[in-house]
């Protein structure tokens, strides 16, 4: 298609936080989207004489930002929310594994659509799912998750997870909940070959993602890293989440989690890790040196009493940090825009107090930081010409926000702002707070029915 034939969407009269390298903002500006990319952004009105403008949007009272990027989630947990609500991580996992090991394809499909819908409605334009429970005979779970993301209309990374260290090998999951080493590696390779798209602007990518040190063998970590690097895809896992995990690593491997990951090939610029709460100075230095990314999940860390990740220290050291919802069995809201606020507030309870994070840094974590840890910072995460048109128009002309002095402060410190419009790849996904490709009421009924079916099957044992 010749450039002149591009279809354009023009957004004007809104505040804009570009989240570019200089944190450029416009009190009143414009954005021009041409097909799936951002053509121009600036102060004042859009240039005159643009051709093929199919839509012109008056953004008065709104703030435009890059779309939010979620870097850690477990979609299947959407149908096991509200359980084990007063537990730490290990007790919570042991309580839930027997139920999780009974999931099947219709359950996972409904849970994925519920998780995705909730995030998309709140301004997420790039989602990820770390899925690591693959019971025998449960169907094509990875395919169901990828189809759900495609139906919702968001950009997506499937982190194909796995577990092969069960109770009999000193791990936490029950024996019936895990795969074999060979089976997990073969299925992961097949998923990458079938679904991963390495091209610029890809809507679907796949990462290699063994679950956590206490549910995977050392061999799965080692061979998983080799597989990912042979296939040229990213690597993801959980790390340094709780004091119990740290103790587990010292007892089994004779070293802390970060040293263990380094010894198995799991630090590097192609790796991002969820949580990273219990990190000492040398752990943070190792992440910074290797450019290993972090998915910071403040609400889940609070829900499971895991602790406060040292995000200000990580940022000062140069560690790439994004935000994660984490699975909704440990963060029932399932929203990412509220994580901007929670990241800011929770980090102010740590050592740096009021200097820990500001509103702009929180917005950066949820956008550009997420794009960095997913390896997509040249494509998404800021509003700049040539980047993909993944953006959100937040309505701040509401009772909750209209008297807050500054739009970025209103977005981060204020109540969750409604999404008037979100675009993914230049295509509308949310309009006036409603999802365009999903029937929310029907989905609410489906997810409730699947949650009840799972509870019934789990109760039968
Ligand atoms: Zn997780």
pLDDT the model gives residue 326: 97
211, 159 Cβ separation under 8 angstroms? no
Q: What is the pLDDT of residues 298-325, one digit of tens each?
A: 999 999 999 999 999 999 999 999 999 9
Q: How far away, in angstroms, is 384 Cα from ligand 1 center? A: 31
The span from the CA of 295 to the CA of 189, in Å, is 24
Q: What is the pLDDT of residues 52-92, one digit of tens each?
A: 999 999 999 999 999 999 999 999 999 999 999 999 999 99
Q: How far away, in angstroms, is 407 Cα from ligand 1 center? A: 31
pLDDT the model gives residue 1: 47
pTM score of the predicted model: 0.97
Q: How far away, in angstroms, is 130 Cα from ligand 1 center? A: 7
In degrees and rounded to multiples of 5, residue 162 shows phi and psi of: -170, 155
Going edge to edge, which strands form the sheet with 68-69?
Answer: 68-69, 124-131, 155-162, 204-210, 235-239, 271-275, 293-296, 321-323
Q: How far away, in angstroms, is 74 Cα from ligand 1 center? A: 6
Q: How far away, in angstroms, is 19 Cα from ligand 1 center? A: 27
Q: How far away, in angstroms, is 35 Cα from ligand 1 center? A: 35
Q: What is the pLDDT of residues 340-374, one digit of tens each?
A: 999 999 999 999 999 999 999 999 999 999 999 99
Q: What is the pLDDT of residues 413-430, one digit of tens each?
A: 999 999 999 999 999 999
Residue recorded with tokens 């029907």 = 442
Q: How far away, in angstroms, is 273 Cα from ligand 1 center? A: 9
Rounded mean pLDDT of 434-455?
97
Residues in the chain: 461
Q: Is residue 2 scored above 70 in pLDDT?
A: no
195, 204 Cβ separation under 8 angstroms? yes
458, 84 Cβ separation under 8 angstroms? no
The span from the CA of 18 to the CA of 326, in Å, is 26
Q: How far away, in angstroms, is 133 Cα from ligand 1 center? A: 12
Residue 456, judged by CB atoms within 10 A of its CB (0-12, 13-18, 19+), counts as exposed
Q: How far away, in angstroms, is 242 Cα from ligand 1 center? A: 12
pLDDT the model gives residue 249: 96
């Amino acid at each position: 298609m010749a450039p002149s034939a591009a279809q354009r969407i023009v957004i004007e009269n809104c505040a804009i936080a570009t989240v570019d390298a200089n944190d450029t903002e416009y009190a009143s500006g414009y954005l021009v989207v041409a097909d799936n990319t951002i053509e121009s952004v600036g102060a004042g009105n859009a240039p005159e004489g643009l051709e093929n403008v199919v839509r012109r949007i008056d953004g008065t009272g709104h703030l435009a930002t890059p779309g939010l990027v979620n870097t850690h989630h477990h979609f299947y947990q959407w149908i096991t929310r509200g359980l084990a609500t007063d537990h730490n991580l290990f007790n919570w996992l042991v309580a839930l594994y027997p139920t999780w090991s009974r999931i099947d394809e219709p359950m996972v499909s409904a849970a994925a659509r519920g998780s995705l819908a909730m995030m998309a409605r709140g301004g997420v334009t790039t989602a990820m799912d770390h899925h690591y429970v693959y019971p025998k005979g449960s169907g094509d779970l990875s395919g169901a998750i990828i189809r759900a993301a495609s139906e919702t209309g968001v950009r997506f990374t499937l982190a194909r997870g796995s577990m092969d260290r069960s109770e009999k090998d000193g791990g936490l999951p029950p024996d019936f909940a895990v795969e074999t080493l060979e089976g997990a590696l073969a299925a992961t390779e097949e998923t990458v070959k079938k679904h991963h798209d390495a091209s610029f602007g890809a809507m679907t990518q796949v990462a290699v993602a063994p679950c956590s040190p206490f549910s995977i063998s050392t061999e799965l970590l080692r061979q998983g890293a080799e597989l990912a690097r042979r296939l040229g895809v990213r690597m993801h896992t959980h790390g340094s989440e709780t004091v119990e995990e740290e103790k587990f690593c010292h007892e089994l491997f004779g070293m802390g989690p970060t040293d263990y990951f380094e010894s198995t090939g799991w630090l590097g610029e192609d790796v991002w890790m969820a949580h990273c709460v219990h990190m000492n100075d040398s752990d943070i230095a190792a992440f910074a040196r290797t450019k290993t990314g972090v998915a910071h999940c403040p609400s889940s860390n609070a829900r499971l009493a895991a602790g406060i990740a040292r995000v200000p220290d990580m940022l000062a050291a140069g560690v790439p940090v994004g935000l994660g919802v984490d699975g909704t069995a440990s963060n029932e809201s399932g929203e990412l825009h509220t994580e901007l606020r929670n990241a800011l507030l929770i980090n102010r309870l740590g050592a740096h107090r009021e200097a820990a994070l500001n509103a702009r840094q929180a917005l950066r974590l949820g956008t550009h930081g997420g794009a960095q840890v997913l390896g997509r910072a040249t494509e998404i995460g800021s509003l700049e010409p040539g980047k993909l048109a993944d953006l959100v128009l937040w309505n701040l002309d509401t009772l909750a926000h209209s008297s807050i002095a500054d739009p970025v402060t209103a977005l981060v410190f204020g109540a969750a702002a409604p999404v008037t419009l979100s675009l993914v790849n230049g295509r509308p996904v949310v309009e006036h707070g409603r999802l365009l490709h999903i029937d929310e009421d029907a989905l609410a009924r489906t997810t409730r029915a699947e949650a009840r079916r799972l509870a019934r099957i789990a109760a039968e044992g």
